[in-house]
A and B are shown apart, each in its own frame.
Chain A
Amino acid sequence: MNANFRFWLGAAGLGLALVAGLRLLGNDYGYFAGYFVLQYVVLAGAWNILGGYAGYVNFGAAGFMAAGAYSAIVVRQWLGWDLIPGIFAAAAVAGLLGLGTGYLTLRLKGVYFSIATLCLAVVLQTLVVNWDYVGGSRGAYIIHARDIPPFNSYSEMLFIVMLVLAIGTTGIGRAVEMSRLGRGLQAIRDNERAAEAVGVPTLRLKLVATTLCGALMGVAGAPLPYYSGYLNPEAAFSLAYAVNAIAMPLIGGAGTWAGPVIGAVLLASLQQAATVTISSALNLWIVGWMLVVFVAVAPRGILGWFRRRG
């Protein structure tokens, strides 16, 4: 049995176990909490492709995620199509946005690139706030059916969709890591000038990475209006997405396919626990402290820490 088969078999088994476990629990909250965590698995995995492998820190995750969410709303309002076509539209729109951003910004390096991506999110938010078709600053509502057979509930359906997206994103991250693309991105992260000098087409690889990263971030955002039933720019462009997209891979272990999964599960679960026990206002506080602790104790994240000790 080869490693690829083992990975997909393991992921499918884990996914089925999660669905079965939540069905046994029989509580809608389980699906909502699970969705919250899995959404961050997708977002962190997407960020990791450009930030983890290539070393280009994208501060604009919220912008790409919102682009995905609003693409799903537009598809719904314009064509009357539901979630699944909305996810494909989100991938296309956010992927193109990533490609365009790459063309405009990839000649920038380090902090200049990061600031440019942050600006992108601000520009997008301004556009959406002034776009009445998607509700402008008032926001937009998505009214969906209560139940969708064969699923037990709409929440279960959303959870399963996000589960599939999370497994898919993790699989894509793993495939990138093991491919020529991944090796090229790692070479770029380590030394871009040397990579170019030995024949690595650095600009092309970075454009592939920004497109893939953007598309997957958009995919993470597409179900968001269906999850909350209502979306306004403040929620869609929330700082929490931008911060978590960076913090989760860094804490789990950036530049590895498993790192973002570990970081997302750990941080999102902690935030979810804080939300229901204390207050969601503590979420960013938790992320901030976790980042401080990990930068001091395990700068290469949880995976890096274990590898060093091993």
Chain B
Amino acid sequence: MSEVFFRAHGVGKRFGGFVALAEVDIELRAGERLGLIGPNGSGKSTFVNCISGDFAEHEGQVTLDGVSLGGLKPHRRARLGMARTFQLPQPFNSLSVLENVRVPLLFAGHAVEATDRAMACLEQVEMADKARKLPKELTQVEQRRLELARAIALNPRLLIADEAMAGLSNAEVDQIIALLFKLNEAGTAVIMIEHIMRAVTAFSERLVVFVAGRKIADGLPRDVLALPEVEGAYLGKQ
């Protein structure tokens, strides 16, 4: 079994008196596929914002390859190997698809080979033929693919896919799952945050469940989903 490379220990976040996330511990092994589920407001996105650096202030510690990420801005974390996508695609609308993927490469010391590497990323997500288009000319699933291409441009060790399939049809969900499998096979660990249970169970080899800002379960998907507290809290059964 591969070694743990990512650790979130005691991660918590308060907004005034409201506790959005409390004492969350999550470890991840290289190349692992982790599903993170929970009802709306359970703290999934808060957790992502804490570990990716969007929330500069939070409780607990986050390390990547033994390096503490405390105090590092998101762009530094991205260069250390942590990539993320957003719930709603957030492309650079005035730049072409190719330029969208070139941007991270330009700032990571790959300016000379940026175009070739960006094209390789676009080929990986089967978007090479759209390289010259503007994001607004893409379909929703293509915009999701563009987000993934931009996220993998720096060969991340960890990809956080935050509801990357929201609003897609069944066929499109299957396309994104296949794509995430492909990226994972190349060695990238993936945290999939998703409400589409079919996608989560098909993709994840491990499942973590958040409820009301706390981690209530962590284990194999079939074991976790069978837990009464998960059924009660997440699936609405008693």
Contact = CB atoms under 8 A, between A and B. Distances in A.
B95 A186 contact: yes
Interface in A147-204: 180, 183-184, 186-187, 189-191, 193-203
Interface string B89-129: 01111110001001110111001000000000000000000
A200 B104 contact: yes
Nearest to B52: A197
A245 B106 CA distance: 30
Interface stretch (B26-34, B148-156, B177-185, B208-216): B148-156
B93 to A, nearest CB: 5
Nearest to A192: B90
Given A180-B107, A184-B106, 13 more contacts: A180-B106, A184-B107, A187-B95, A189-B94, A190-B93, A195-B103, A196-B74, A198-B104, A198-B150, A198-B151, A198-B154, A199-B104, A200-B107
A190 B151 contact: no
A63 interface: no
Nearest to B147: A194
B78 A194 contact: no
Contacts of A200: 75, 103-104, 107
Given A196-B73, A197-B52, A198-B151, A187 B92 contact: yes
A98 interface: no
Interface of B: 52, 54, 73-75, 78-79, 83-84, 86, 90-95, 99, 102-104, 106-108, 111, 150-151, 153-154
B74 A184 contact: no
Interface of A: 180, 183-184, 186-187, 189-191, 193-203, 255
Contact of A255 (B74, B94, B153): B94
A194 to B, nearest CB: 4
A193 B78 CA distance: 12
Contact of B92 (A180, A191, A196, A203): A191
Contacts of B74: 196-197
